[in-house]
Structure 1
Amino acid sequence: MKTIILISHGSFCEGLKESVEMILGSQEQIKTVSLLPEEDGSDFLKKFDSVIAEIDGDYVVFADLLGGTPANVISSKIMSGESIEVYVGMNMPMIITYLNSQMLGEPFDLNKSKENMVDLTQHIKEKLK
């Protein structure tokens, strides 16, 4: 199973990991790298590189925001020739869907995680008709 690295502004990635673990139990293969308010891209890069140095095998990255510093740091690594699998816009359905695909030995289908994103108000209104 691939290591999953959650990256974000602030502690969002840590909270997301904790929330996923509330549902699925301990997830030792999930690592987090937070960009703190007092840090810049170079600080984040050092922390990210430190995490990947400890990983034995493949990893996948989930980032919070397209165009934000964490995703931009990873984008720079890709543009310099590194092969990194990255998904942006991370949320709980996305991470759980990814973990389920890994457990089942199936390829990750991003559209399956999108199926769990619903306008609940509209959904309820339609059901009440």
Structure 2
Amino acid sequence: MKGIVIASHGMLAEGMLHAVKMFSDDPEYILACGLMPEEDLVGYTAKLEAAAAKVNTGEGVVIFCDLLYGSPCNCAALLQKRGIVAGGLDVVAGVNLAMLLEFVSMRSSGIALADILKAGHAGIQDYAEL
């Protein structure tokens, strides 16, 4: 089972993790890692790396980031480029609750990244158009 790290600016990651737990009790191998205003990027990258190591079961890790090209995403991409996570590291930007819930519920069956993205896209709708 792949580990999960939710990476964000501020406390968004912690809030998303709390929301995931409302739907799926206490999922294993998942951590939140928020970048706080007082943190520098070198320190945050090390914190993100430590979180990835902690949730890694040997099958790899997916880091879900709040914003494409934001600092948390850029730090995750740096870790991905370094290739230091056993089992591999995937980085998904633009996280939403729909994709997190889909991945948490399906990750033991080896859900593909494309399916995670589809779940995230499907969760974004104009309610008036439904």
Offset of 1:104 from its aligned partner? 4.1
* Aligned-partner Cα distance in 2 for 1:122–1:53: 43
Aligned with 1:94 (options 88, 96, 99): 99
Counterparts in 2 of 1:113 and 1:53: CA distance versus 1, 3 Å: closer
State how many pairs are aligned. 123
- Preserved contact between residue 8 and residue 65 of structure 2 (Cα < 8 Å): yes
Q: Give the alignment's TM-score, normalised by structure 1.
A: 0.84
Counterparts in 2 of 1:78 and 1:103: CA distance versus 1, 3 Å: closer
- Preserved contact between residue 101 and residue 107 of structure 1 (Cα < 8 Å): no
Letter in 2 for 1:47: K
Q: Give the alignment's TM-score, normalised by structure 2.
A: 0.83
Task: Quote the residue 2:123 is aligned against.
Answer: 116
Task: Quote the residue 1:85 is aligned against.
Answer: 90
For 1:16-95, what aligned pairs fall within 5 Å after superposition?
A: 16-54=16-54, 55-57=56-58, 58-82=60-84, 83-95=88-100
What's the Cα RMSD here? 1.8
* Aligned-partner Cα distance in 2 for 1:27–1:89: 21
Unaligned runs of 5+ in 2: none
Task: Quote the residue 1:8 is aligned against.
Answer: 8
- Percent identity for Structure 1 against Structure 2: 30
Choose 1 or 2 for highest CA Rg: 1
Secondary structure at 2:38's aligned position in 1?
coil
